Amino acid sequence: MDAELRELYQQVILDHNKSPRNFRKLENANHTAEGYNPLCGDKINLYLIIEDDVVKDVGFQGSGCAISKASASLMSSIVKGMKKQEAEKLFEKFHDLVTGKLTNEEEIEELGKLAVFAGVRDFPARVKCASLAWHTLISALQDGKKVVSTEE
Ligand code: ZN
């Protein structure tokens, strides 16, 4: 990871840890899921309000490491307002990014702030921290009311 991206990565992680976005339970959520990463101890409860296939609102609660929290916070602010299919596509791209499959510079740039998570691809244990919120999102989008684990 080059110095610029590393600095940006640290900024994003710090910022979202200090003031996580959408860090609240949505009492009227119609899709929910719970995610767990036993390797690190990260836990997330995700709440979505979906209307006409659009993610109208997102909230999450949980505890875990800085990376898992920052990733959940960033994910929640990015998918708000997205169509279900768009969010699913973004998950695939994000997953390719953190596992090192996405290498096209242009496509990485299109990911905006999410691109900073490219830094975790060299650390397999961290990939799970970064992708937990996204796995939980997919579960919630599909049906929800399930517990997902990164170890399945
Ligand atoms: Zn973690």
| Helix and strand element counts for the chain (H, E) | 5, 4
What's the 63 CA to ligand 1 centre distance in angstroms?
9
pTM: 0.92
Q: How many angstroms separate the alpha carbon of residue 29 from the centre of ligand 1? A: 25
- Whole-number Å distance, alpha carbon 123 to ligand 1 midpoint, is 11
Q: Give the distance (Å) from ligand 1 centre to CA of residue 43.
A: 9
In this structure, the number of other CB atoms found within 10 A of the CB of residue 23 comes to: 15
C-alpha 72 – ligand 1 centre gap (Å): 11
Contacts of 105 by beta carbon, 8 Å cutoff, 6+ apart: none
Q: Where are the domains of the chain?
A: 3-144
**Cα(41) to centroid of ligand 1, in Å?**
6
State in Å: Cα 86 to ligand 1 middle.
Answer: 26
Residues in the chain where the model's pLDDT stays below 70: 1, 144-146, 152
pLDDT of residue 22: 98
CA torsion through residues 94, 47, 73, 151, sign: negative
CA distances from 65 to 55, 69, 94, 130, 145 (A): 26, 6, 19, 10, 24
CATH number for the domain running over 3-144: 3.90.1010.10
- 142 Cα to the center of ligand 1, angstroms: 24
User: In the numeric block, which tokens belong to residue 71?
Assistant: 């990733």
